[in-house]
Amino acid sequence: MSTLSTSAVSPRAPLVSRKTLIDWLGIAPFTIFALLFLIVPTVYLMVGAFLTPEGTFTLKNIYDLFTPSIMDAYWISIKISVASSLGGALIGFFLAWAIVLGGLPGWIRNALLTFSGVASNFAGVPLAFAFLATLGRTGLVTVFLREWFGFNLYSTGFNLLSFFGLTITYMFFQIPLMLLILTPALDGLKKEWKEAAQILGASNGTYWRMVAFPILWPSLLGTTLLLFANAFGAIATAYALTGSSLNIVPILLYAQIRGDVLHNANLGYALALGMIVITGVSNVIYILLRMRAERWQK
C-alpha cells in the first residue's frame, strides 16, 4: 500500500504584478499624448516629404528646399537663432556667475531664479504685445526717450519689426532659460578645485582658463545649442510681432498650413522635415554634451 504525500501547492504568480500595472497606467497619458501629438505626426511628415500628391516616391520635395526663397527663409531663421542664442548665453552666463559665485545676497538669487522660471515660458502674443507696448513706435520707452530727452529711437534706424527687433524679443526668454540651466552647473564647481589651483600657484584667471572653463564648456556649448533650437522653432512670438514681414521658416510653414502658399502640400512636409532635422541635431548634441558635463561634475 503506497502512501500519498500531500504538499502545499503555491499559487502561480501573475504574469504582471499589480504594482507594475499601476506604474504603466501612470505613464499611459503621457505615452498616448506623445504618440498622438509628437511621434505619429513626425513620422507622417517624414513620409509625406518623400511623396508626390499622388502618393508616389520622389526626392523633388527635398530638392525644392534649395530654391532661393526657401533657402532665404532658413538663412534668416538660422541668423536670428544664432544671434539670440549667443546673446542669451552670454548675458545668462554672467547673471548665473553673479548669483552663484559673485557673492550677491541670497534673496537676489531666489528672486532671479523665480522670475526666470516665469520669463522662460513667457512667449507668444503676450510677449509680442509687451515689446510693442514698450519699444514700439508709440511704446512707453520710445515716448519717454522722445519727450524727456529729445531722443527719437526710431531715427537711429531701430525697428522692432525687424531682424534686430525680433532677436531682442527672443532674448527675453533666452536669457532666463540660460540662467536656469547654467546655475546648477556653476553650483557643481567644487571649492576644492579652486583651492588646489591656488595652492599650486594659479591665479584666478589661470584657474578659470585651465580648470573652470574646460569643465563648464560642455554645459555652455550644449545650453547654447538648446537656445538655438528653442529660437528656431518659435512661431507665435514672431508672427504676432512681425506678421508676414519677416520671412522665417516657422512663418512660411504657418502660411503653408493655412493656405498652401507653396502650391504643394508635400513640399510643406519637406519644409517641416528640415526644421525637425535642424532642431533635432541641436538637441541631440545638447544631450551628449550635457551627459559629458555631468560626468565631469560627479
144 Cβ contact partners less than 8 Å away, ≥ 6 residues apart = none
Contacts of 198 (CB under 8 A, 6+ apart): 207
Query: Has residue 233 got a pLDDT over 90?
Result: no
pLDDT at 86 over 60: yes
Give residue 157's pLDDT band: very low, low, confident or very high (50, 70, 90): confident
Q: Which CATH superfamily is domain 70-262+271-297 in?
A: MetI-like (1.10.3720.10)
Closest CA to 193 of 176, 173, 175, 216: 216
Per-residue pLDDT, averaged over 12-32, amounts to 76
Cell numbers placing 45: 511628415
Residue 97: partners with Cβ closer than 8 Å, 6 or more residues away: 186
Which of the two residues, 245 and 162, has the higher pLDDT score?
162
Task: State the pLDDT at residue 24.
Answer: 81
Looking at this protein, which amino acid is placed at residue 288? L
Q: Tens digits of per-residue pLDDT, 87-117?
A: 999 999 999 999 998 878 889 999 999 999 9
pLDDT grade for 179, boundaries at 50, 70 and 90 = very high
> Tell me: the pLDDT tens digits for 30-54?
899 999 988 998 899 899 999 988 8
**pLDDT of 78:** 95
- Alpha helix locations (H) across the chain? 18-34, 40-48, 60-64, 68-100, 106-119, 125-135, 140-149, 163-187, 191-199, 204-207, 213-232, 236-242, 249-259, 265-297
pTM: 0.86
Task: Give residue 5's pLDDT.
Answer: 47
Mean pLDDT for 272-294 is 87
Average pLDDT, the chain: 87
Q: What is the pLDDT of residue 54?
A: 86
Instruction: Write down the pLDDT at residue 99.
Output: 92
Query: Is there a contact between 85 and 231 (Cβ–Cβ < 8 Å)?
Result: yes
Per-residue pLDDT at 298 exceeds 70:
no
Query: What pLDDT is attached to residue 296?
Result: 64
Answer whether 87's CB lies under 8 Å from 174's CB.
yes
- Give CA–CA dist 215/208, Å, rounded: 10
Q: Given a cut of 60, is residue 4 above it in pLDDT? A: no
Work out the pLDDT band at 13, boundaries 50, 70, 90: low
